[in-house]
Amino acid sequence: QKEVEQDPGPLSVPEGAIVSLNCTYSNSAFQYFMWYRQYSRKGPELLMYTYSSGNKEDGRFTAQVDKSSKYISLFIRDSQPSDSATYLCAAHGSSNTGKLIFGQGTTLQVKP
C-alpha cells in the first residue's frame, strides 16, 4: 500500500464547475500537506500548503485536511480551462527533513 493514495482520474468537468480532488494517506506521522499543480512536461508548482488539520483558502482554491480520517482535499471553484493539469498531493511528517511523499496525481481537464 502506498503511503499516499490518489485517484489518477482523468477527471473532466465543464468550465465554471467546482472541482474536488482527494487523497488518503496511511502514515499518522504526516503533519504537513501540500498540493502541487503540474502542467505537461513542466515541474510541479506549489499551490497550497497546510499544517495539521483544518482548512486553508487562497483565491479559488481551498485545501482541507482531516487527520482523523487521513483525508486530504483540494477544491477549485469556478474552474477554468487553464486549470487543466495534473494535481499532486504530497505529505511529510518530519520537521528535520523535507522528504515529500507524493500521490500518483489526478489529471484534470476543464472543458470550455
Least separation in angstroms between residue 15's CB and other proteins is 27
Residues in contact with other proteins by the rule CB under 8 A:
32, 34, 36, 41-46, 49, 51, 88, 92, 94-105
Three cell numbers written together for 82: 487553464
Q: Which is nearer to other proteins, 21 or 79 (CB)?
A: 21
Count H helices and E strands in the chain, helices first. 0, 11
Which letter does DSSP use for residue 14 in this model? E
Residue type present at position 93: G
Nearest approach, Cβ of residue 32 and other proteins (Å):
4
